[in-house]
Amino acid sequence: MSMQDDEILGKAYDSNLMMRLIRYLRPYKWQVTGAIVLSMVVALLESVRPFFTKIAVDDNIAKGDKEGLLYTTMLFFAVLMIRGVMQFFNAYLTQWIGQKTIYDLRIEIYRHLQYRSLRFFDKNPIGRLITRVTNDVEVLNEMFSSGIVMVFSDVFMIIGIVWLMFSMNWKLAIITLSVLPFLFYGTFLFRKKAREAYREVRLQVAKINTFMQEHISGMLVDQIFNRQKKSFKKFEYINGAHRDANIKSIFYYALFYPSVDIIGSVVVGLIIWYSANGIIEGTVTIGTIMAFLQFNEMFWRPIRDLSEKYNIMQTAMASSERIFKLLDDKTAIIDSENPVSLNKTKGKIEFKNVWFAYNDEEWILKNISLTIFPGETIAIVGHTGAGKTTIINLLDRMYDIQKGEILIDGINIKNVSQVDLRKNIGLVMQDVFLFSGDVKTNIDLGNEEISIDKVKHSAEMVGVKKFIDSLQGGFSGEVKERGSTFSVGQKQLISFARTLAYNPQILVLDEATSSVDTETEILIQQAIIKLLQDRTSIVIAHRLSTIQRADKIIVMHKGEIRESGNHQELLAVGGIYQKLYQLQYKEQEKASLN
Ligand SMILES: Nc1ncnc2c1ncn2[C@@H]1O[C@H](COP(=O)(O)OP(=O)(O)OP(=O)(O)O)[C@@H](O)[C@H]1O
Ligand SMILES: [Mg+2]
């Protein structure tokens, strides 16, 4: 995986990305408007605070106006109350908007992923896709909920304070603002350094994630080969790099905030120094000094906030770029615009001069032609990597072929909708996948048309009902993630029951190679017989018993069909099949005779 992808930190503002992001706010435009108005009001109510101090000191206290002081205090209190209430609504609303938008975005990404073809998943590591749906979306949440709206509030706050300062005393206002160039320069330096440090942190986080994901999945291998120490050293190193990167970034933050405070303190000194003369000369009142000291304190917060927002925006732009890149990926199997409906197929399958490559022109299947008549069972055999699994992936249209045609009942599968196609084909994969949940749901996969009786009947047919009944909870018994508490044979039988419950007209079985105990083996053999009954079937066979029962055996070699015929015919030819038989199946034959 390209690590760079997760490390790139682009611009803090990109108008194209921004326009596209804003679209996610459109359904909530009234709420967004409300939040912006509220934050304006809060900023205004916040920035007038020093004004009350000045009135209280200069107009009430200085003149001994007790009643006026009470009045000012009450008014001030009322303003604070209103501000508090507004702040509540503002915070609630902005977070609400953030949560709504990321909900929408996550749904969109998941839906998009659901319709990508296998080619897409061949290209994109799982870890990266998970990062998109979790981290990257979370970053956008931060931008939607605190970024956009709060920027308004900060800017209004700054405008409000500057305006009030100038209207109160323009000379003091200029003195207060005189340090701004230093501040801007300092912020510029900080941002540059912080950005580099932050990029490094992100890179290290990505490394930790990748490492953890791989090593937790591969923990068993680590343990079997006693590699824990070695893996630990590797992790220690990555974790150390992550710590150092973080400490470095903390260093810049730790330096920046006190620096801003020092600049603020210098301004306090300047205000007092200037006003001391003013008071003596009678041009500045005590209330004004107090108000300015407060303004000064309030002024730096939004400025500091804004530089933090800059970081949020920067990460958000980078995340949104990655998310949009994912959403723009069009790798998919596209349905024909006017699909021919295929409700219940008769089960005739034809491959006509099919060529297929996973990549460019590295042909994995070369000029494959074969016909399977309704009700027939075809066994495909061949060495590992010969292209057997590939053939059945093509029939189910998991990949589109480059040349030739695949027909079902004489209709090109490209002209049938994928829903119709897959409804008619039951595919039992080489590795069984069970979802966490219960046994019943793993058989009916949540399809409400499949009754519990049908589920039980299917389990009975493939001979797994007794086992399921013996589980705690029976058909409602718990299945852990990936079915980790079941044996390979048990999982296999459950997946047979699943296919039988869906009762497809065409059955495709990629027989697992893993050996199971004799008793389970017999169960599986009998189950396969039940599965194949009354349907067109293609079996990628590893069991001699399955092969011998097939109407025709197809021998694949390096992407080509080299031989075809029944067991006896092929043995008589004395070619690849005969060799395979000698090497692989003879043992099975002996074992079954014993
Ligand atoms: N997703 C993929 N991307 C690229 N190449 C692939 C992909 N899947 C399989 N291949 C390649 O295609 C060839 C055929 O693979 P396939 O899985 O069809 O073999 P198979 O006959 O089913 O083998 P086995 O008996 O081991 O299951 C192999 O050389 C393999 O490396
Ligand atoms: Mg295979």
Per-residue pLDDT, 513: 65
Q: pTM of this prediction? A: 0.78
Mean pLDDT across the stretch 534-553?
A: 87
Residue 325 has pLDDT above 50, yes or no: yes
What digits encode the pLDDT tens for the residues 282-302? 888 888 888 888 888 888 888
Per-residue pLDDT, 2: 43
The alpha carbon of 274 is separated from its chain's Cα centroid by a whole number of angstroms, namely 58
Of ligand 1's atoms, which has the minimum distance to the CA of residue 359? 4
Cβ 505 under 6 angstroms from ligand 1? no
Rg (CA), the chain: 36
Residue 3 has pLDDT above 50, yes or no: no
What digits encode the pLDDT tens for the residues 128-155? 788 788 888 988 888 887 767 778 888 8
Torsion of CA 419, 365, 511, 430, to 10 degrees: -60
Mean pLDDT across the stretch 302-310?
A: 79
Q: How far is the CA of 117 from the centre of ligand 1 (A)?
A: 16
Cβ 559 under 6 angstroms from ligand 1? no
Confidence category of residue 537, pLDDT binned at 50, 70, 90: very high
**What is the rounded distance in angstroms from the CA atom of residue 357 to the CA atom of residue 577?**
25
Ligand in closest contact with the CA of 429: 2
Query: Average pLDDT over the chain, rounded to whole?
Result: 87
Mutate to test the pocket of ligand 1, among 118, 331, 356, 388 (most ligand atoms within 8 A of CB): 388
Q: Name which of 293, 289, 269 is nearest 279 in CA terms.
A: 289
Residue 591 has pLDDT above 70, yes or no: no
Question: Could you tell me whether strands 506-510 and 425-428 are parallel, antiparallel, or unpaired per DSSP bridges?
Answer: parallel
Architecture of domain 4-328: Up-down Bundle (1.20)
Cβ 513 under 6 angstroms from ligand 1? no
Of ligand 1's atoms, which has the minimum distance to the CA of residue 122? 1
Q: How far is the CA of 374 from the centre of ligand 2 (A)?
A: 24
Q: Starting at the edge strand that comes first in sequence, how are the strands of the sheet with 363-372 ordered?
A: 363-372, 349-357, 403-408, 411-412
- What is the residue with the minimal CA distance to atom 26 of ligand 1? 384
Residue 258 has pLDDT above 70, yes or no: yes
What digits encode the pLDDT tens for the residues 353-388? 999 999 888 999 999 999 999 999 999 999 889 999
Q: Please list the residues that pair with 506 across neighbouring strands.
A: 425, 536
Paired tokens of 275:
């006003």
Ligand in closest contact with the CA of 388: 1
Q: How far is the CA of 114 from the centre of ligand 2 (A)?
A: 23
Paired tokens of 227:
């590699």
CB distance 464 to 494 below 8 Å: yes
Residue 424 has pLDDT above 50, yes or no: yes
Cβ 364 under 6 angstroms from ligand 1? yes
- What is the residue with the minimal CA distance to atom 25 of ligand 1? 384
Q: How far is the CA of 510 from the centre of ligand 1 (A)?
A: 13
∠ CA 228-230-234 to the nearest 5 degrees?
Answer: 110
Per-residue pLDDT, 452: 92
Cβ 512 under 6 angstroms from ligand 1? no
Q: How far is the CA of 430 from the centre of ligand 2 (A)?
A: 7
Listed residues: CB within 5 A of ion ligand 2: 389
Cβ 122 under 6 angstroms from ligand 1? yes
Cβ 390 under 6 angstroms from ligand 1? yes
Above pLDDT 90, what percent of the chain?
A: 36
Q: Read out DSSP for 344-409?
A: S----EEEEEEEEESSTT-EEEEEEEEEE-TT-EEEEEE-TTSSHHHHHHHHTTSS--SEEEEEET
Mean pLDDT across the stretch 331-351?
A: 90
Of the candidate ranges 303-317, 379-393, 415-429, the one whose mean pLDDT is the lowest: 303-317
What digits encode the pLDDT tens for the residues 462-505? 888 989 999 999 999 999 887 888 888 888 889 999 998 988 99
Mutate to test the pocket of ligand 1, among 331, 389, 514 (most ligand atoms within 8 A of CB): 389
Residue 5 has pLDDT above 60, yes or no: no
Q: Do domains 4-328 and 349-593 have the same CATH topology?
A: no
- Domain residues of the chain, as ranges? 4-328, 349-593
Ramachandran quadrant class, 541 (left: phi over 0; alpha: psi -120 to 50; beta: rest): beta
Cβ 514 under 6 angstroms from ligand 1? no
Tell me if the domain spanning 349-593 has CATH number 3.90.70.10: no
Torsion of CA 245, 246, 248, 250, to 10 degrees: 170
Mean pLDDT across the stretch 313-341?
A: 88
